[in-house]
Amino acid sequence: MQLVEGQVAVVTGAGSGIGLGMARAFADHGLRVVAADVRSDALDATVAELRSKGCDAIGVVTDVSKRTDVEALAEATLDSFGAVHVLCNNAGVGIFAPIAKTSLDDWEWILGVDLWGPIHGVSVFLPLIQREQAGHINSTASVAGLVAGGAAGPYNVAKHGVVALMATLERELRAAKSPVRTSVLCPGAVNTPIAANSTASRRARRGELSARTREGDKLGDRMSAALAKGMAPDDVGRLVLDAILHGTFWVFTDPRLLRQVQEQMDQMINDRTLSRLRLFSEEKTTT
């Protein structure tokens, strides 16, 4: 897709991390940016930064798990800029516990943000993007959307769903000869505050944290340590921009992680067993 100055990009989860990296990449490319996040303070900081660089940007407080909020985001985008050309469904949360110790409320919360968020985004924004000469929808999944490790059941299920959502949509758009394209971001370790942000969001939703487990605490600590060594969010934002410009469907931060996907496929073919994952080695880490 050819992105020209003045076109409009909407990014959810833009208050920090990968979403902020995307917003910066689009602003540097000359796009107008609609930043969305559930945290108003982080959102205000993002918008102030983008505007300080000369970007025409607005912020819209949005809980992507609520369709009415996503509809309001679309309305605010059209009211301010009259069109939308790029959507990045990026907002995400995650907590860690074995499935047997994961409450139904935790399932609903994580699936609401991580899976229903992209579903709402596609449903609301696709008709708007299709009005333009060309457009693009990107959704953030994870390597966890290709292989599923332990103690992250709802997150894994949501991210597998996001991969399926985007692959289905891409094939449907191709079959319809639509000028709209899609991509899916499957990052490994990225240096983001997703763990801290998820904890804060969980507290805001229930007034308390989910039940802690020893296994969950251990995995969470390892995850946080791995993420701290991960790719810079700004670099991820530029990868997504490049995928949009060149029509690339799969976006990976560390292609070495695909070895685990290949190992899983090999065992599926050879003996129908489930491969063993090495989640937090220096070279092989999933988010």
Instruction: Return the active site residues.
Output: 155
| Euclidean distance between CA atoms 75 and 231, whole angstroms | 34
